[in-house]
Every structure is written in C-alpha cells, then in structure tokens.
Amino acid sequence: MVALAALVQICAAGAAGQVTARNPLSRRRDLLSNGLGLTPPMGWNTYNHFHWNISEEIIRETADAMVSSGLAALGYQYINLDDAWAEHERDPQGNLVPDAATFPSGIKALADYVHSKGLKLGIYSDAGNLTCSKLQPGSLGYEEQDANTFASWGIDFLKYDNCHDNGLSPKVRYPVMSKALLNTGRSIFFSLCEWGREDPATWAPAVGNSWRTTGDISDHWESMLRRADENDKWASYAGPGGWNGLMILNSLETDPDMLEVGNGGMTNDEYIAHFSIWALAKSPLIIGCDVRAMSNETYQILSNSEVIAVNQDRLGVQGRKVKEGDLEVWAGPLTNNRVAVVLWNRGSSRATVTAPFSDIGLRADLADARDLWVHMTIPSVKEQISADLDSHACKMYILTPK
C-alpha cells in the first residue's frame, strides 16, 4: 500500500501544478501528448442499459454491432466495461480476477477480440476499497498492481469511480492511479469518475484525460438538464492550452456523464437536444443504449456526422450557455472562424429562440447557417439566427461568416 504521507505529497504537487523532476505528475505531459484526448473520446459503456448484468457475450456482440452499424467508422472506438466484471475477491497473489461465470474467456481474450475489430477495450475500477456495486474489490492500495494487470490485458481506457473511499480525498487517491498507469508504459485513457464532489476541474487536468463534473445521469428530462447545467459551470476549465503551469497539448474534457440516447426515457426531441448539448460542450460521447437493438431514430441521432464533427473539432473549446431561461442559447467557437450554436426551447410550449451574432462571438453581420439536423444550408443569414421550436426541441447550426 502507498503511505498516506506520500499520497498527500503527490496530491499537493499536482494541485499546485509544479512541473519538476521530483513531481511524478509532471510526467502526465508524456501521456497527454501521445495522442490520447486530442478530441473527446467516443465509444460505448455497459452501465446505462445493462447496469451490473454484463457478460463477455454482450461485449463481443456490441463490438460486432458497432462495426456493422457504421458507428465505429464514425469514431466510436471504445467498448467499455463498467462495474461487476470481476470476482468478489482477489486471487491469493492479490490480483483482480474476471468473473468466471460471465467472463469465462478472461479479459485478455476479450481485449484481443475487440482489438481485432479495430476497436479499443475499456475497463472499470474504483479509487476505494470496493466498487460502487460492492460486487468487486476497488483499487485503493493496489493501484500499481491493478494498473499493471490492466496493461497486461491490453486495456485502453480506465473509468475510475469514487465509492468506499476510506475517508481519503479524491485529490489524494486519483493521482496514485494516474502515476501507476503512466508507469505501465501503455497508453491508457484515464477517466476520473469523481462526480464533481471536490471541483475536479480545478485539479484533475494534471491527473487524467477527462473528469466527471456531475453526479450520475438517469434517463429522464430533468436529470439531463441538471447534468448539462452543472457541467456548463466548468466550461472555462476545458480545452487546449495551459493549466496550472502545465502546458497541455490536448483537449481536456469535462464530463457530464454518458449518453442516455435510445434507452426510452425521453422523447426523440429530448434525445436530440441531449446529444446536441453534449457534442457542443465537447463532452465524451459514450453511448449507453443497447446498440445491438437500437431503433432507426436512435441510430440517426448517434450517427449524425455533422454533430459529431462539432464535438471532435480540433480547436477543442467547450461550448457553453450564453443565454439562460426557458429559451436558451448555447454556443462555442470552431476552427476556421466558425461558430456552433444550439437554440433550445426548454419551456413547456412552442416558442421562438433567437441568437444575435454579437452574443455568440460571431464577428460578421452575414453568415451561412448550416442546419446540422436537417442537413441544409441557409445562405446569408443577417445579424441573428432564429428558430420556432416545439417544447423541449432544439436546432443546431454551424455559422460560417461571409
């Protein structure tokens, strides 16, 4: 186990952003500049639909479906296990062991299968003694051993949860796994699922590739709104540039949790708004439905390449809310002096939402407006963009100045 004093020292150095030879977190630049997190990650996770009822059969079939549906070709590359993939106890050597009933072939074989499809495999652990389900051990005190295990299996992504923390701050616990992952020599995307409890946007960029800014999402309108609003508070902390003295060469993603699109708890318009706001906010696009049996409406949302392009834009600046209330405007800059904008009617009746160009940072009086859900261009829009919207519906545009 790692001594508490050492953990606190690591935490303090990371929070202060000191880049010195003695600061293990200064090595974080090596991972952040190796191609991980250049744009928000895209993929799929078991939890929102399957919760703790997962198996290697589900993972293999999902990998197949991601490829056959064309979602993989659009950038959805991570196939991520969530909680409950392991046995309740470690083996006599202290290693995590896959559940023999649900993952009889082992995780290494599963990773090999996912990799054979051109995809990447993610796994789940917890920065505490137990995972949130209490069905498997956490990694607290076993960070280096577990990181080496994950690397030996060929894991590409680690979601690291925040349950059963033994009373230790996440600012103490999370940097230890960050260092352990670096020490493996394998490039593993590190996703901090800290739930925004201790303002991770203020310290997590030195530790991971993305960090949760909110509690868990659920598949209904009010939950989605809360996650969007909570995440928006931290927009200024995401994106390329400097952070606490660390010159970071990548986008850094605030994370309002995974997508609920296709799970059945919201209307199609609400799911379109959900996907639009997550894309604009440069959030990870992690699908949470059963892609083996998704409807055409769900597929049309998740496969909208024009909306995905906003999320993956190399400028890497998180879009944010610029007008609050029932009739909201969200906007953010893109490469080539373009601006992405979402007009969103969060009210209970049909209404018109308007965004003056001056409010959304567009430096022009005329712009071509590309409607990303209708796939049509409105030429020479002057000074503002407006849309009549049903309750809970949105419009999403890219404005190109003329």
Name the residues annotated as catalytic.
161, 216
Burial of 194 (0-12, 13-18, 19+ CB in 10 A): buried
Biggest CA pair distance of the chain = 70
Residue found by looking up tokens 């999320």 in the block: 311
| Other beta carbons within 10 Å of 49 | 23
CA 342-39-381 angle, 5° bins? 30
Type and span of the H or E element at 210: strand 210-212
Question: 164 and 194 in contact (C-beta within 8 Å)?
Answer: no
Residue found by looking up tokens 């409950």 in the block: 84
Q: Is 189 helix (H, G, I), strand (E, B) or coil?
A: strand
Side-chain half-sphere CA neighbours of 363 within 13 A: 4
| Other beta carbons within 10 Å of 317 | 19
- Quote the DSSP letter at residue 319: P
Residue found by looking up tokens 């744009």 in the block: 39
